[in-house]
Amino acid sequence: MYSFKNDYSEGAHPKILEALIQENLIQNDGYGLDPHSLHAAELIRQEIGRDDADIHFIVGGTQTNLIAIATALRPWQAVISTDKGHINVHETGAIEATGHKVLAMPVKDGKLTPADILKALDHHTDEHMVQPKMVYISNSTEIGTQYTKAELEALHHICRQKDLYLFLDGARMGSALTSPVNDLTLKDIAQLTDVFYIGGTKNGALYGEALIINHPDLKPDFRFMIKQRGAMLAKGWTLGIQFEELFQNNLYYDLAAHANEMSALLKKGIQSCGYSFFSDSSTNQLFPILPDAVIAKLKKDFLFSIQERFDDSHTVIRLVTSWATREDACKEFIKSLESCK
Amino acid sequence: MYSFKNDYSEGAHPKILEALIQENLIQNDGYGLDPHSLHAAELIRQEIGRDDADIHFIVGGTQTNLIAIATALRPWQAVISTDKGHINVHETGAIEATGHKVLAMPVKDGKLTPADILKALDHHTDEHMVQPKMVYISNSTEIGTQYTKAELEALHHICRQKDLYLFLDGARMGSALTSPVNDLTLKDIAQLTDVFYIGGTKNGALYGEALIINHPDLKPDFRFMIKQRGAMLAKGWTLGIQFEELFQNNLYYDLAAHANEMSALLKKGIQSCGYSFFSDSSTNQLFPILPDAVIAKLKKDFLFSIQERFDDSHTVIRLVTSWATREDACKEFIKSLESCK
Amino acid sequence: MYSFKNDYSEGAHPKILEALIQENLIQNDGYGLDPHSLHAAELIRQEIGRDDADIHFIVGGTQTNLIAIATALRPWQAVISTDKGHINVHETGAIEATGHKVLAMPVKDGKLTPADILKALDHHTDEHMVQPKMVYISNSTEIGTQYTKAELEALHHICRQKDLYLFLDGARMGSALTSPVNDLTLKDIAQLTDVFYIGGTKNGALYGEALIINHPDLKPDFRFMIKQRGAMLAKGWTLGIQFEELFQNNLYYDLAAHANEMSALLKKGIQSCGYSFFSDSSTNQLFPILPDAVIAKLKKDFLFSIQERFDDSHTVIRLVTSWATREDACKEFIKSLESCK
Amino acid sequence: MYSFKNDYSEGAHPKILEALIQENLIQNDGYGLDPHSLHAAELIRQEIGRDDADIHFIVGGTQTNLIAIATALRPWQAVISTDKGHINVHETGAIEATGHKVLAMPVKDGKLTPADILKALDHHTDEHMVQPKMVYISNSTEIGTQYTKAELEALHHICRQKDLYLFLDGARMGSALTSPVNDLTLKDIAQLTDVFYIGGTKNGALYGEALIINHPDLKPDFRFMIKQRGAMLAKGWTLGIQFEELFQNNLYYDLAAHANEMSALLKKGIQSCGYSFFSDSSTNQLFPILPDAVIAKLKKDFLFSIQERFDDSHTVIRLVTSWATREDACKEFIKSLESCK
């Protein structure tokens, strides 16, 4: 059975694996203080156009989120997110476990707006309530949508005005940046956010997220926090090597572009069959609304997740493509879908 | 200026103060291990009809909430509340500061239903999400409404069925129990909840809440938690004395009944003037919807809180009465209101 | 049985009680925003000679300690204390519950020295270890000793040099300041510490500690933290009134001086009987080393705590005097002791 | 320069790397729910002789420690460790960050005894102090020593008697189990502890620790805690594959035995030169006491850590060997050492 369950079903892209093999028996200093990690950080600084950025490599996304947020906030402060935000729903209360409230604003399309932020601020006015201090967004979002440059600029502006940190979770940023409707660059993102991360796990690395800190307030002593939360990998150079590969020869973008092409292929086929989508995605996550009977048939040959019930006879499913998704598998999926009609 | 801002604007009821004065120079053991605290606990056990209850006296409500909830939950577990719940809005993230997520369910009338609980459970299905384990309700609620016996039984039933602890915040329970529409007794509440508290601060005590633990899981080592959170009062017998007074000669009910009478007087006057209310309250908190011009005039002679804007020309205010509220002050308020027309 | 168990066995000094009674039915704003709290803060600012100090009134000592420390430290930072420090031993892990390590340095006399601090710093050198950032001391200490001005200046100096906050727990500071060997004033302490508190509970108040923040880093948003930890008393003006009384007409010093006189009386009597002491105390806590047989006899008429076993036949006990200790009780105790010989 | 700094300077053992390469493009379910993880757990259950054990694979040691301890303890409970314990010194307060105090007992040889545990219990007697509930030991210890079967049985016995959980940190257990003085087996350890882990990172894996839960109290909902702390690896099957390799064909023991052989070679050479050791180690960590002048010369060709100053002219250094340590490098080191004389 072919799986469209997620973008971390396979290991590492062969070039990344090859680099790890090459280095395997060479001695390196531990905990990210090795030449590969330093070099990878330098490559990313060039790519984002910020010499002043602090860059840390961390194994996974939940870790990265909780460390970044808990470092930024004082004990009584809170982070504003959409109600669909990964930190609000799918991290088992990781942020609350660090002592902070997630202020979840209801949204339809997975994207936060300045109006949502102002609403959160309006409701939190004195010391009997938490103090909002950070804004968390994902790009691409949890439902596959993505921010335009104008939207991100607006968020940047309101955050500056209201003295809030803007944090962008880029677990799936490769897919956003290479989508046909994208008008953002890594350079833009590095100018418009205070801290963000570039996901490796969901874009061809065996593991690893590159956290980029732009705001000087968030930089001091950051490695203490990484260590305390158990996120300082002993063989940290394996993270460095993977990001060296991703940011040499355009690999980061190429892998994400492949995921998007596969997703576009699925999208076109689903549309041709007359089905619509729960969200307007041009990234590697699609949320088609399908009849329950069709889903039952597709399940025999493909793995995918159920997102939520749509109505009495329809359900939203989630299809995810990756750097490793095979074109023939996508075509098989569409063929199966067509045969269900 | 007379204040209807809250029910803790004055000190203690004279009988309670007198008892404190009588005991003032008598030596007592500290930390709640004195005869007065033991006696007060015994009086409450009789009143609630549970010999097996553990009873602890704690200075304030936020402390009581955070200690009860953090003791009940394992690190990955969450508490279900209404979106208006005191723990969700007005405790500066005290629950999150203990590491736990508050799952806030939107409600209109301040009351949680079994359907709300089921909805929360339906959305939390695996280890990528928090695990709901406790239900938090307030009686009377944050907007003055109150639970019927049937409603509380339904909550009790669903909590038993789904293995959830039911916690009732009774900071203003006196007002609920003596309201004209009440059909609950302390005995009922002690049978239908796993842990609840009887508020003293807002019903004639200088300070103090009596926490009653019915469920055996929540009893062991509870005093460790009280001490750790800084809530074990050195001169703990002063809490015992206050609750002795409240639960002798019906004082707890008499004081609450007076608050309700004063509130009823205000309610009737406001209705006579043709104004309606934001919530259907028969307790000591009223939320009339008044024209902004009227509010401006009332503000010259009375203190009260602004709840929220209702429409372009109307605002919801909050009026609170207490055991100490003077009848003539209520009449003056209504006279002022009438003169605004 | 007369109790020398602690200095919080009785209620409030009559003058303080009288002031509470006078105000009892007067309406006041809640949460410490009332005129009495503001006035008491002003009186203390005058007494300590710092117009710039932020002053907050909090019900108890453990609360005050945990709030002050957790506000000062970032998540990876630690507080240096003696191994006998109240925060290290007798607060049920309250500081650790806020996420911070207490670095406990072994001392003999209850007092921390610059050498202890340097030792702690020497052992914590990189991000694999916690980062010391605050120094916690008590005056008088947990074993009745007290700092000289020269000692406190030395601690102040090393803290400035090493960029550490200096926090002084003054739960029993009245006794230290009025002891015959004292050479410190509140003005000195306010100049030499970054944050400290003046204990009321153990010096004649019904409850209450006055936290004084001198360092500007620790001031912003402090009330958020008080509220979050459940330490913002609803009827906060009762704290204000008590500290108004303590800092008018010298009451704070008079009460502490009485405790010391009673303690001196006990000390002289114990010395006359030929017994020595576990620590060199001129404050209201004495730690005589007594034969077990003597202790057994004294226990029939007096209450006191056992501190620790000294040798096979001797034990250290703790005797505490207070503003309320009766001279005749002290004489009775000495008479009993003499009769044991 | 050859490094004896640690046992995680190289990547993975070639067999492990090969297995990862073989699986690289095969789709697997995420988060440890794949066949490899299940199979590896089964292999370990056979090796330890406990069908009832729950087994979880976690990326690193600090994570594993903090998750195991924070799951076992209620908020007011503490863990007993030696003062040299990794959790006490080298994890940046990771345990305190979960809210729990580490009770550090001073030891000379890195090993905890029943007497140390009893001492900790004797000092923690009521609710004003933390409640010890877990005992943490490492085998081999932080200074290379190791427990005998009799010692571990004694710890097991006292823990059963006093109702304490016994947790063994086995980050370097392979080296302990294959040392010439060892008389323990994994089966013994699985019978004598409540929870322990088998370290992969320091014994040939790219990353990964296998946590084995024997006590039924600690099993429920454990995956929630793994996820919440950011320790649930997306591509979890890579952990399963690595432990499959380690526990097939004796690889786990063979790799550790090689490290010990290299260490024995160094030890013999150092002893021949007339130097003594800070601790009595037969495992892969050696702590020779060397003249400062010798250390200065060795530093030109070798990397190693400084443990601590011994006296005015001598320092304790730390040498660590691993599965990858080359015999010729050890011989070179000894030759250098000899040439220093």
Look over chain A and give the mean of its residue pLDDT values, rounded to a whole number.
97
In the numeric block, the tokens 């302990």 are attached to D176
Q: With contact defined as beta carbons under 8 Å apart, do D159 and D165 qualify? A: yes
Residue type, C196: F
pLDDT tens sequence across B117-174: 999 999 999 999 999 999 999 999 999 999 999 999 999 999 999 999 999 999 999 9
Q: How far is CA D128 from CA B234, C144, C254, D132, in A?
A: 12, 19, 30, 13
Q: Are strands B305-309 and C77-82 parallel, antiparallel or unpaired?
A: unpaired
C306, pLDDT greater than 80: yes
The domain segmentation of chain D, as residue ranges, is 2-7+251-340, 14-246
Question: What distance in Å separates residue C27's CA from the closest CA in chain D?
Answer: 37
Q: Half-sphere exposure of residue B336, counting CA atoms within 13 Å on the CB side?
A: 20
pLDDT of residue B341: 74
Between CA A101 and CA B178 the distance in angstroms is 35
Residues 212-231 of B with CB under 8 A from C: 224, 227-231
Between CA C274 and CA C341 the distance in angstroms is 10
CB proximity A308 to B under 8 Å: no
Residue of B nearest to C87 (CA): B228
Question: Hey, are the CB atoms on C24 and B11 less than 8 Å from each other?
Answer: yes
B98, pLDDT greater than 90: yes
Helix (H) or strand (E) holding D141: none
pLDDT of residue D341: 74
pLDDT tens sequence across A280-298: 999 999 999 999 999 999 9
CB proximity D59 to A under 8 Å: yes
pLDDT tens sequence across B272-302: 999 999 999 999 999 999 999 999 999 999 9
One of 2.40.320.10, 3.20.20.10, 3.90.1150.10, 3.40.630.40 is the CATH number of A2-7+252-340, namely 3.90.1150.10
User: Of A202, A226, A235, which to mutate for an interface test with D (greatest number of D Cβ within 10 Å)?
Assistant: A235
Residue type, A278: F
Residues of A within 8 A of B78 (CB-CB) are: 93, 96
pLDDT of residue D282: 97
- Lookup: tokens for B269: 């006057």
Question: Hey, are the CB atoms on A75 and C127 less than 8 Å from each other?
Answer: no
- Lookup: tokens for A197: 């991360």
In the numeric block, the tokens 């005005």 are attached to A161
In the numeric block, the tokens 């808990």 are attached to A70
H helix runs in chain D, sequence order: 14-23, 35-48, 61-72, 86-89, 94-97, 114-122, 149-162, 173-177, 186-192, 222-228, 237-246, 251-272, 292-298, 327-340
pLDDT of residue C341: 74
pLDDT of residue B209: 98
Between CA D4 and CA A31 the distance in angstroms is 16
Q: How far is CA A269 from CA A265, A330, A338, A341, in A?
A: 6, 9, 8, 13
Residues of C within 8 A of D78 (CB-CB) are: 93, 96
- pLDDT confidence band for A185 (50 / 70 / 90): very high
Q: How far is CA B322 from CA A123, B260, B326, in A?
A: 27, 8, 9
**Mean pLDDT of the region D215-239:** 98
Question: Hey, are the CB atoms on D128 and B74 less than 8 Å from each other?
Answer: no
Between CA C100 and CA D67 the distance in angstroms is 17
Between CA C140 and CA C124 the distance in angstroms is 28
D95, pLDDT greater than 80: yes
% of residues, chain D, pLDDT over 90: 99
Q: Work out the number of other CB atoms within 10 angstroms of the CB of residue B268.
A: 12
pLDDT of residue A331: 98
Contacts of A335 (CB under 8 A, 6+ apart): none
pLDDT tens sequence across C46-56: 999 999 999 99
Residue of A nearest to B105 (CA): A104
pLDDT of residue D340: 86
Between CA D182 and CA D176 the distance in angstroms is 7
CB proximity D191 to B under 8 Å: no
Residue type, C93: G
pLDDT tens sequence across C60-118: 999 999 999 999 999 999 999 999 999 999 999 999 999 999 999 999 999 999 999 99
pLDDT tens sequence across A44-84: 999 999 999 999 999 999 999 999 999 999 999 999 999 99
Choose the closest CB to C96 out of D91, D101, D127: D101
pLDDT of residue B340: 86
Long-range contacts of A154-158 (CB under 8 A, 24+ apart): A154/A113, A154/A114, A155/A112, A155/A113, A155/A114, A155/A117, A155/A192, A156/A191, A156/A192, A156/A193, A157/A114, A158/A114, A158/A117, A158/A118
Between CA C326 and CA D96 the distance in angstroms is 44
Choose the closest CB to A227 out of C127, C224, C226: C127
Look over chain B and give the mean of its residue pLDDT values, rounded to a whole number.
97
Q: Are strands C54-58 and B285-286 parallel, antiparallel or unpaired?
A: unpaired
In degrees, rounded to 5, the angle at the alpha carbon of residue C235 between the alpha carbons of residues C231 and C241 is 100
Burial class of residue D73, CB neighbours in 10 A (0-12, 13-18, 19+):
buried
pLDDT of residue C188: 98
pLDDT of residue C157: 98
User: Of D24, D71, D301, which to mutate for an interface test with A (greatest number of A Cβ within 10 Å)?
Assistant: D24
Question: What distance in Å separates residue B43's CA from the closest CA in chain A?
Answer: 33
3-state SS class at D249? coil
Residues of B within 8 A of C28 (CB-CB) are: 9-10
C13, pLDDT greater than 80: yes
Between CA B77 and CA A93 the distance in angstroms is 8
pLDDT of residue C340: 86
* ipTM of the prediction greater than 0.90, yes or no: yes
% helix, strand, coil for chain B, step of 5: 45, 20, 40
Choose the closest CB to C224 out of A76, A224, A225: A76
- pLDDT confidence band for D171 (50 / 70 / 90): very high
pLDDT of residue D302: 98
CATH fold of D2-7+251-340, please?
Answer: Aspartate Aminotransferase, domain 1 (3.90.1150)
CB proximity A129 to B under 8 Å: yes
Q: With contact defined as beta carbons under 8 Å apart, do A218 and A165 qualify? A: yes
Residue of A nearest to B93 (CA): A130
CB proximity A152 to D under 8 Å: no
- pLDDT confidence band for A341 (50 / 70 / 90): confident
**Mean pLDDT of the region D162-191:** 98
- Lookup: tokens for B168: 């009732």
Q: Are strands C54-58 and C102-105 parallel, antiparallel or unpaired?
A: unpaired
CATH number of C14-246: 3.40.640.10
D38, pLDDT greater than 80: yes
A274, pLDDT greater than 80: yes
In this chain, the answer to whether the domains covering D2-7+251-340 and D14-246 adopt an identical fold is no
What are the φ and ψ backbone dihedral angles of B171, each rounded to 5 degrees? -55, -35
